[in-house]
């Protein structure tokens, strides 16, 4: 067995970081992101992987298994970077020997024999007693309450049972990120983020659609309120969110505008006592069950102002049927597509809100909708920030989405963990050609790489949480989402493959993990947009600042 060498691992990471810096300089000085999108995209993912690897060095110093997983992960990251460079060295601004110094280290820790020997070794998480209790508490709830419902919800596209939501509210899930003065549990320190990440992972391990994503939307709205809400708005909404008394959805995307938020068309026009909302939103997850919508709309009709003409509203609505709905504000109600019962919405006027369900291959239970607003009335006091909030909606939304990206990474870790555990169990029990498939080198090497990816992703999530507790880590929150969500596709795919034909059957939950993982790189900022418009741009801006400071 090769002995772990963390110093060599750290040196390899720095060699990779030099390549990233070189490519950033190339992109900043000789080209542009739009002209070289392939380079910018690969650069963003390489930078995210390098930072994920860097977060493993401290973890690796905590023991022998930790050090071995760290070396395996770092070797994989450098090998993947080398593949990106091959034949494109001039684009990256490096020579063909840019990573030559890492060759021996990578060869040692990608050796199939080494990977095989390390199979079934996961590595401890090193949580302190407080967070061990958080993990144990949410895992017990997930095992006892979520797992028995997860497959039914997935296979029938059923709604999340109310007892699950009520149970999580009683446990304080929805108040983890809301300040204590508003009825939550957040104290402004690292523990706020640790608790959210750990709880999210454990719930997502049981089911992404039935539990792991329930905190996402309250998290986004709470951060937006903290960033721009008036004190009266915080007092009105945050305690109710923290208690789970109300649940919210987020309505941002439109049929013609997804990540390009600046172009949204849904309009809010002034009327007596408030605003009238008109237009269509799409991919609004959890919209039927939600009591309120966090909606971004154009309050300035001058579209040339782009994102500066957008504002955020808290839009009350009645709970509705999960398979389509039509709500009215004149006291009447009517069924939406495929529904039997309607529900009425509060407020004056005769506005309507219709929700058309969008069927998806995974992530079921949350349900996504296309929403059509027609003169839907929203009181003036529900504009976040009120008068001061006009035109500030984009910025308030981004404040919410930064936390949402870390939370999404935690969801990805939970899904990966579930897939890995399923693959391990199946590999130990399934006998092929006279022996368990867990005895075969190929299976064992896959399991080792899965374990290394999952532990690195988890440790980076903890690291980003620590940064965000200090008001930092915006870039890293984007990086962790980019890296971890894409990694989840590989881990769940290989877990499914280890199951062979049974992996393709709904009889085993690994097929659910696979289809659920696929959505992670799409929502909360599509992977391509996140890499090109956020990570690559930020890398270039930081490079230019450093050059100017010299």
Name the residues annotated as catalytic.
524
Give the pair of three-digit tokens for residue 420: 């890995």
Q: Are 531 and 471 in contact (CB under 8 A)?
A: no
Give the pair of three-digit tokens for residue 263: 């172009």
Among 308, 313, 296, residue whose Cα is nearest residue 257: 296
Give the pair of three-digit tokens for residue 365: 């239970």
Output b/e per residue, 507-540; b: 16+ Cβ within 10 A. Answer: ebbbbbbbbbbbbbbebbbebbebbbbbbbebbb
In the block, which residue shows the tokens 């404040």?
A: 399
Beta carbons within 8 Å of 317's beta carbon, 6+ residues apart: 290, 291, 292, 293, 327, 345, 346, 353
Give the pair of three-digit tokens for residue 14: 């720095």
Q: Are 390 and 311 in contact (CB under 8 A)?
A: yes
β-pairing, 292-298 vs 248-251, is: parallel
Instruction: Quote the CA–CA distance of 267 and 309 in Å, as a whole number.
Output: 10
β-pairing, 368-379 vs 274-285, is: antiparallel
Give the pair of three-digit tokens for residue 318: 């009645």
DSSP single-letter state for residue 177: T
Kindly list the distances between the CA atom of residue 19 and the CA atoms of 5, 87, 91, 99, 542, in Å, as whole numbers in the listed order: 22, 14, 11, 8, 16
Where are any strands of DSSP class E within 11-50? Answer: none
- CA-based radius of gyration for the chain: 24
Give the pair of three-digit tokens for residue 466: 């620590």
Q: Are 337 and 253 in contact (CB under 8 A)?
A: no
Instruction: Quote the CA–CA distance of 319 and 228 in Å, as a whole number.
Output: 26
Beta carbons within 8 Å of 186's beta carbon, 6+ residues apart: 175, 176, 177, 178, 179, 180, 192
Give the pair of three-digit tokens for residue 484: 């971890």
Instruction: Count the neighbouring beta carbons within 10 Å of the beta carbon of residue 299.
Output: 21
Among 385, 530, 508, 517, residue whose Cα is nearest residue 450: 517
- Residue 397, φ and ψ in degrees, nearest 5: -60, -45
Instruction: Quote the CA–CA distance of 67 and 60 in Å, as a whole number.
Output: 4
**What is the SS3 assignment for 181?**
helix
């Amino acid at each position: 067995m090769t002995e772990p060498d963390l110093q060599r691992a750290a040196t390899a990471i720095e060699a990779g970081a030099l390549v990233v810096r070189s490519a950033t300089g190339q992109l900043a000085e000789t080209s542009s992101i739009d002209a070289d999108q392939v380079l910018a995209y690969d650069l963003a993912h390489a930078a995210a992987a390098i930072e994920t690897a860097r977060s493993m060095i401290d973890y690796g110093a905590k023991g022998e298994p930790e050090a071995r997983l760290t070396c395996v992960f770092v070797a994989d990251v450098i090998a993947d970077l080398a593949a990106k460079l091959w034949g494109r060295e001039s684009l990256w601004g490096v020579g063909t020997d840019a990573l030559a110094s890492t060759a021996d280290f990578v060869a040692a820790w990608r050796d199939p024999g080494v990977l095989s020997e390390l199979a079934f070794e996961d590595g401890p998480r090193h949580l302190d007693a407080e967070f061990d209790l958080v993990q144990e508490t949410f895992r017990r709830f997930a095992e006892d309450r979520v797992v028995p419902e997860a497959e039914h919800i997935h296979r029938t596209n059923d709604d999340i049972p109310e007892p699950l939501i009520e149970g999580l509210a009683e446990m304080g899930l929805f108040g983890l990120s809301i300040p204590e003065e508003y009825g939550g549990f957040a104290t402004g320190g690292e523990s706020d983020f640790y608790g959210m990440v750990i709880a999210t992972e454990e719930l997502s391990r049981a089911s992404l659609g039935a539990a792991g994503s329930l905190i996402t939307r309250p998290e986004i709205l709470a951060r937006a309120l903290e960033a721009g809400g008036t004190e009266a708005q915080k007092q009105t909404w945050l305690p109710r969110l923290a208690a789970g008394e109300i649940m919210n959805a987020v309505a941002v995307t439109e049929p013609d505008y997804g990540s390009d938020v600046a172009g949204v068309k849904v309009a809010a026009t002034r009327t007596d006592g408030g605003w009238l909302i008109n237009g269509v939103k799409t991919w609004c997850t959890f919209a039927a069950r939600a009591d309120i919508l966090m909606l971004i709309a154009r309050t300035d009709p001058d579209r040339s102002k782009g994102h500066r003409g957008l504002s955020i509203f808290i839009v009350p609505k009645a709970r509705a049927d999960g398979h389509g709905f039509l709500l009215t504000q004149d006291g009447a109600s009517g069924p939406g597509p495929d529904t039997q019962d309607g529900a009425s919405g509060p407020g004056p006027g005769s506005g309507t809100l219709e929700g058309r369900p969008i069927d998806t291959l995974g992530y079921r239970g949350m349900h996504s909708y296309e929403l059509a607003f027609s003169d839907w009335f929203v009181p003036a006091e529900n504009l976040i920030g009120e008068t001061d909030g006009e035109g500030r909606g984009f910025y308030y939304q981004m404040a919410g989405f930064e936390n949402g990206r870390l939370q999404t990474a935690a969801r990805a870790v939970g899904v990966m963990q579930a897939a890995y555990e399923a693959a391990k169990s199946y590999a130990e029990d399934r006998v092929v050609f006279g022996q368990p498939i867990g005895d075969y080198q190929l299976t064992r090497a896959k399991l080792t790489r899965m374990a290394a990816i999952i532990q690195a992703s988890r440790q980076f999530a903890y690291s980003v949480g620590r940064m965000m507790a200090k008001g930092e880590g915006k870039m890293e929150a984007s990086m962790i989402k980019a890296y971890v969500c894409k990694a989840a596709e590989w881990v769940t795919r290989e877990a499914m493959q280890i199951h062979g034909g049974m992996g393709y059957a709904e009889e085993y939950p690994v097929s659910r993990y696979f289809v659920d993982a696929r959505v992670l790189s799409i929502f909360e900022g599509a992977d391509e947009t996140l890499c090109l418009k956020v990570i690559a741009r930020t890398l270039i801006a930081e490079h230019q600042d450093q050059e100017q400071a010299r």
